[in-house]
Amino acid sequence: MDILWGIAKGFTYGELAERLSMSRQTVPVHIRNIYRKLQASNRSEAVFEATRLGLIRL
């Protein structure tokens, strides 16, 4: 959920890694999993689907 919120806010991979105290290489793995679960192919689609499903509020 933290990664999803971060991509909705427009954070870069590096910014997300720093904010969440994780490796920069780990962030894209989480993002790919989010895209797969939301059946999205990019950030915009993922944010739209997450908002539509009530997972995040902007």
pLDDT tens figures, 15-43: 999 999 999 999 999 999 999 999 999 99
Residue 58 belongs to some domain of the structure? no
Residue 14 belongs to some domain of the structure? yes
Question: Computed from CA positions of residues 36, 49, 4, 42, in that sequence, does the dihedral angle turn out positive or negative?
Answer: positive
In the chain, pLDDT over 90 holds for what percent of residues? 97
- Which CATH number goes with the domain that contains 7? 1.10.10.10
- The domain total for the chain is 1
Range of the domain at 20: 2-52
pLDDT band at 58 (very low <50, low <70, confident <90, very high): confident
pTM for the complete prediction? Answer: 0.87
